[in-house]
DNA sequence: CAGAATCCTTTGCGATACTG
DNA sequence: CAGTATCGCAAAGGATTCTG
């Protein structure tokens, strides 16, 4: 249905935690991106979502399903197969993610630099 | 310098917690909005930020200062006066907030409805 | 394969009281 | 006025193990 997901599509060293904008909870935005190209199976998602535990991935997907962002389709086969797919509502988040990316491209370096400068300061710089 | 802040500028019943997008931590986005119209004093911010404790407001402002989003200016007076102001970087977040608002205007009702429908469902609807 | 069950640690946030 | 100092809790997320 779609190319395999690139296991390295998310840079583990990327300072995304510094981003002042977040989509849903920790993994939600990445899940949306993983599903952008089409439906994916549970274990397929675990590739790029490096280090996510099945418990947390399940939680994340269930919450997204509840909010109408993804659909879950279970096929009655053995071994089991379950596929997740973005709904139009879920797809609408892509515009927000794009806005976040644009912001980070334009401003994240400045934020990081401010943070680093602040951290490097020996202390509350007393006037002298 | 600016009109007093409307103590009710944030609707306490607003389902912002349902929003799949967040600016910084819990209070950051609201602080940015409070500072949009100009510099504000510490206790002035506590008005619209209903229920925030001084500890948490201090934390929030310190984190924002560290990231270069606000500046803090302390005047050597008695009683003390401290003013916070958005930097251009902090101001750049307004575009993101605007994007979030646009998204929520267009899609949040659908999300809320999906959630409500899901919660009302008696159980995993087995095919029959 | 796609989870469920259990346990545990971290962090965010709040309540309350005190201070230069 | 503008904070600081403690205490405490609940929730998010992770590690590990087990199963239809």
Taking only the tens place, the pLDDT of each residue in A28-67 is 999 999 999 999 999 999 999 999 999 999 999 999 999 9
- Which residue from A5, A15, A91 is spatially nearest to A41, judged by alpha carbons? A5
Read off the DSSP letter of residue B102.
H
Q: How far apart are CA B45 and CA B119, in angstroms?
A: 36
Give the Cβ contact number of residue A69 at 10 Å: 27
CA A11 to chain centre: 11
pLDDT for A37 equals 97
Report residue B123's pLDDT band, with 50, 70 and 90 as the boundaries: low
Identify the DSSP state of A47. Answer: T
Q: Report the pLDDT value the prediction gives residue B67, as an integer from 0 to 100.
A: 97
Which residues from 34-63 of B have any strand D atom under 7 Å from their CB? 41-44, 53-55, 58, 61
Q: Contact A18/B14 with Cβ under 8 angstroms? A: no
3-class secondary structure, B40: strand
Provide the pairing of β-strand B21-23 with A40-41. unpaired
Contacts with B20 from chain A: Cβ below 8 Å: 23-24, 28, 67, 69, 93, 96
Q: Which two tokens stand for residue B53?
A: 């404790």
* Interval B92-107 mean pLDDT: 96
For chain B, how many helices (H) and strands (E)?
Answer: 4, 4
Determine contact, residues A81/A44, Cβ cutoff 8 Å: no
| Per-residue confidence band for A13, with pLDDT thresholds at 50, 70 and 90 | confident
- Quick: pLDDT tens for A88-101: 999 999 999 999 99
Interatomic separation, CA of residue A71 and C1' of nucleotide D13, rounded (Å): 24
User: Which one has a higher pLDDT value, A6 or A13?
Assistant: A6
pLDDT (tens digit per residue) in A59-81: 999 999 999 999 999 999 999 99
pTM above 0.85, yes or no: yes
Cβ atoms of residues A32 and A86 within 8 Å: yes
pLDDT of residue B2: 76
Three-point CA angle A6, A52, A25, nearest 5°: 100
Is A116's pLDDT higher than 80? yes
CA distance linking residue A84 with residue A117, whole number of Å: 43
Assess whether pLDDT exceeds 50 at residue B128.
no
Query: What is the residue-averaged pLDDT of chain B?
Result: 92
Tell whether the model's pLDDT for residue B125 goes beyond 60.
Answer: no
């Amino acid at each position: 249905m779609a190319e395999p997901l690139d296991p390295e599509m998310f840079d583990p060293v990327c300072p995304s935690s510094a981003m002042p904008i977040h989509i849903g909870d920790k993994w939600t935005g990445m899940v949306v991106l993983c599903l952008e190209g089409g439906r994916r199976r549970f274990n397929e998602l675990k590739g790029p979502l490096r280090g996510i535990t099945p418990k947390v991935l399940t939680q994340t997907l269930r919450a997204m399903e509840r909010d109408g962002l993804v659909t879950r389709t279970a096929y009655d086969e053995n071994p089991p197969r379950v596929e997740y797919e973005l709904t139009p509502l879920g797809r609408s988040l892509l515009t927000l993610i794009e806005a976040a990316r644009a912001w980070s491209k334009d401003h994240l370096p400045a934020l990081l630099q401010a943070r680093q400068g602040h951290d490097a300061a020996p202390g509350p710089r007393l006037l002298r």
